[in-house]
Amino acid sequence: MLSVKFPYPFSEEIPNFATEEEFFSSLYMHLSEVDALSTAVNWTKYFLHTVPSTHHTYILKDPVVIANKAAIQS
Whole-number Å distance between alpha carbons of 53 and 43: 16
Res 11 pLDDT > 60: no
Residue 3 included in any domain:
no
Whole-number Å distance between alpha carbons of 60 and 8: 36
Whether this model's pTM surpasses 0.95: no
Count the neighbouring beta carbons within 10 Å of the beta carbon of residue 68: 13
Q: How many domains does the chain have?
A: 1
**Arithmetic mean of pLDDT, 2-19:** 58
Name the residue range of residue 26's domain. 9-73
Phi, psi of 64 (to 5 degrees): -85, 130
Q: State the pLDDT confidence band at 3, using cuts at 50, 70 and 90.
A: low
Residue 4 included in any domain:
no
**How are beta strands 64-66 and 28-30 bridged, if at all?**
antiparallel
Residues 26-70 have pLDDT tens digits of 788 999 999 999 888 999 999 999 999 999 999 999 999 988 887
